[in-house]
Structure 1
Amino acid sequence: MTPAPLTFDEPEAKAAARLQPAPVIEVLSAEKVFADGTRALQPVDLTLRAGDFMTLIGPSGCGKSTLLGMMSNLLQPSEGRLSWWRGGPEKIGAKGRQIGIVFQDPTLMPWATVESNVRLLFDLDRVPASESMPRVRDALARVGLSKFAKHYPRQLSGGMRMRVAIARALATDPDVLLMDEPFGALDEFTRHKLDADILDMWQERSLTAVFVTHSIYEAVFLSTRIVVMAASPGRIIHEIIVDEPFPRDESFRVSTRFANLCADVLNALSLAQKPNHGAS
């Protein structure tokens, strides 16, 4: 739909808001206190918009995974609420509103083949093989594992096992991909390759993504937005926009702009380490 033309008397902020992509997930003063009294997140307000590649970064214990868990609807906020496509969790799962999740551990079934692991979600929903298998094969092709469909997880490297987990998420044709530090245990070479692959898939499939990491370099390479968090309690203290063109390659990693953005994130993280910075 073509947006209505802007009028000269319309406030600039309101006009800009009208031109922004639609909200996909909104975190609305949501906080999380666990049963043992641990306050994992103080009230957080955050909007994920269509087409974002948002990275959450911060020290251990700052609530990155908790926030991601709430965005996936696997965790419920103690106070506040979340909105998905301007509605409740019932909006999740409809056409154009699928969420895929990749955890830090690939969580593969060791007794099952790669193909069976990728097919798992379809099997749980009792989707016929005639419908699921083309999607499984396509997902394996996208992550470069077509030749390993009949292998078992023990026969794969760590990077390949993570590719299986990504394929499992992609097979459901998600519109939003949530990733909880999926490459943290991998060597730097493999990590760089998978970062590039994820960006390619994000662009090709017009995904909206949220990515949790501890790596400044990874955050800057991947993101359109970097959300910096602090701990005790977990909270958002800063956001950095990475207004750099895609596709990104190794030339971006060695550019002055990349170095400057890394320095900005490092400075924000340094503030996050200071006691009670931004805490209420």
Structure 2
Amino acid sequence: MNALSPGESFEEKAERVTAGGDRPPAVEVLSAEKVFANGTRALSPIDLAITEGEFLTLIGPSGCGKSTLLKLIANLMEPSDGRLLWWRGDFARVGQEGRRFAFVFQEPTLMPWARVDANVRLPLELADMPNAKANPLVADAIARVGLSVFSRHYPRQLSGGMKMRVSIARALVTSPNLLLMDEPFGALDEFTRNKLDNDLVRLWWERKLTTVFVTHSIYEAVFLSTRIVVMAANPGRIFRTMTIDQSQPRDQAFRDSPKFAAYCRELSTWLAKASLPAASGGAS
């Protein structure tokens, strides 16, 4: 499926790849591959349609291209070949009403000299939004991540988990339709990570956000996702996909359930196979 059919355009391929879906795609990755200047082939040609409203997680061994694929989706780098579409068009249409996205990095990257509310306000300031309009948006975003009483604190006064909440609030303040997250909770302890996962799945559900999430955690992937893409390395490629057929929003009862354990066992098996040198893919 990776190659274009004879005489086929990328737009025609997009229609073929997503045929039969009941929701329109937010992002389409069409035969996109990435070869770096030093010759490293980070991604072999990839086809992936991300439908509106889904929570899609990328997981796989180190070096499989998860973050590279996420950066292609964010237009932070261009594919060496192939093409990406955002809401069935070029990246030029991103930023229009209903077609906004935000990126949450591995580190909070906060301004240490600015208070929480000023850090969250930054994207609106860059967009020249007047304070009278920005203030309620900032207050709402901070409240959604549970930091209202800390809005006048500096980053040095916050824990690691609280700093990441500020980073998420800064992403939410622009009212994105697509949220991209690159291992945002990887450096946190398990208790804090579980709490933030609970908050994230609630925010995703409330805001109906299309989300693409990168993680190394099997448990996090199963808890958060509607669909998981397992990737293999050398070169990076899609090895397997798994649908998590579980009602939303989720809570601790799902984590404690036999169904959660079964999903985790299955995902662990596929990750082990994806890590083998001669792994070859197959969708499910």
Q: What is the 5 A alignment of 1:1-280?
A: 17-18=19-20, 20-278=22-280
Could you say what secondary structure the match of 1:151 adopts?
Answer: coil
Deviation at 1:121, TM superposition (A): 1.0
Deviation at 1:127, TM superposition (A): 1.5
Could you say what secondary structure the match of 1:196 adopts?
Answer: helix
Distance in 1 separating the partners of 2:72 and 2:241:
19
| Same amino acid, percent of matched pairs | 61
Instruction: Report the residue type matching 2:241 in the other structure.
Output: E
Distance in 2 separating the partners of 1:27 and 1:18:
17
Instruction: Report the residue type matching 2:138 in the other structure.
Output: V
Could you say what secondary structure the match of 2:213 adopts?
Answer: strand
Q: CA RMSD in A?
A: 1.3
Distance in 2 separating the partners of 1:270 and 1:159:
30
Distance in 1 separating the partners of 2:21 and 2:189:
41
Aligned to 1:10: none
Structure 1 stretch 125-134 or stretch 106-115: which is displaced more?
A: 125-134
Deviation at 1:17, TM superposition (A): 4.4
Distance in 2 separating the partners of 1:125 and 1:249:
36
**CA 1:88–1:139 in structure 2 vs 1: closer, same or farther (change >3 Å)?**
same
Deviation at 1:276, TM superposition (A): 2.8
- TM-score, normalised on structure 1? 0.92
How many corresponding residue pairs? 265
Deviation at 1:91, TM superposition (A): 1.6
Structure 1 stretch 132-141 or stretch 120-129: which is displaced more?
A: 120-129
Instruction: Report the residue type matching 1:75 in the other structure.
Output: M
Deviation at 1:251, TM superposition (A): 1.2
Structure 2 stretches lacking a partner, 5+ long? 1-15
